[in-house]
Amino acid sequence: MIKKLIGTSDVLIENFAPGVMERLGLGRDVLKEINPKLVMVSASGTGQTGPTRQYSAYGTLLQIYTGFAGLNGYAGLPTTIGMAWLDPLCGMLLAYAAIAALRSSRARGEGMHIDFSMVEAMLSTLPEPLIEFQTTGVRSEPMGNDDAEYSPHGVFRCAGEDVWVAIAVTGQDEWESLGNAIGATAEAISWDRDERRDRSEEINRLIEAWTIGLSPDEAARELQEAGVPASASRASAELVDDEHLNARGFFDMLKDRDGVSRLMPTLPWGWNDDSAPNYGQPPALGGDTRFVLKSMLGYSDEEIQLMADSGALN
């Protein structure tokens, strides 16, 4: 059945450990014989070749491997893993790789094999610390909310329990506007970037003395109106009530696999009214199996039921 399906397919994406497809009798040579134009994408933790190719690999583990987690912490504190950002990142890159390979394959009239490494996917987003070390010999260290170039840059406590506003000043004009908003002295407002970095602790105390009397939204709104980049720091649960996102129709009530309606994010781009997508309920794991077997491979309902009864579709 799987070989028959491969024979009618354009792309096969697998994320077994290296060598598993060969042990299943579905190595690249076998697949090429079945379908010479097939694009095969093999995704694994560290790739199909190399001394660590058989290592166990999870998104959070690989974020440690690549140094990504270490750069996102705070100086002097243990590294924290955080969420598995690498998993959705790889999902997006895999879609890109599959489409690019398919386009190339069709142009050349033959299939191809893509060796996708999760470690390398993560490292492709981290050129700056690699270049910095090669150029200066300086190893990048975690900086918390600070920035190596800009100051002030961080989150500041507002009125209430565990509520914050983020501020990122990138130029002298923005600093002067911020200084005027928070009541800084004329001398402080005249400080250039290097002086601001040297006096960052003093500036941060000055900013927080102003933000502590405001809600995050009030502080962000006042600063944005003054030309200072700022945003309330929100928890995910707060975003469903965000005025801007709701005005753009970003959230929609969608049914999950259990049929329960939930407010969910949609696509991050707009559509014309007459071509807006109709978001359907996502299928359960294997939910389209019978459809594929019948419509693409031509199996009858009786044959499909026999497969199901034998456990072949589990």
pLDDT in tens, 32-82: 999 999 999 999 999 999 999 998 888 999 999 998 988 888 888 888 888
Contact 68, 120 (CB under 8 A): no
Mean pLDDT of the chain: 92
Q: Is the pLDDT of residue 257 over 80?
A: no
Which pLDDT does position 95 carry in this prediction?
95
pTM for the full predicted model:
0.82
Which pLDDT does position 203 carry in this prediction?
96
Q: What is the pLDDT of residues 104-148, one digit of tens each?
A: 999 999 999 999 999 999 999 999 998 989 999 988 888 888 898
Which pLDDT does position 106 carry in this prediction?
93
CATH numbers and ranges of domains, the chain: 2-127 (3.40.50.10540), 153-233 (3.30.1540.10)
Which pLDDT does position 57 carry in this prediction?
87
Q: In what order do the strands lie in the sheet with 112-117?
A: 11-14, 39-44, 112-117
The C-alpha angle with vertex 8 and arms to 19 and 293, in degrees rounded to 5, equals: 95
Structure-token pair, residue 92:
């997006």
Which pLDDT does position 124 carry in this prediction?
94
CB count within 10 Å of CB 295 equals 10
Banded model confidence at residue 1, pLDDT cuts 50, 70, 90:
confident
Q: What is the pLDDT of residues 226-248, one digit of tens each?
A: 999 999 999 888 898 999 999 98
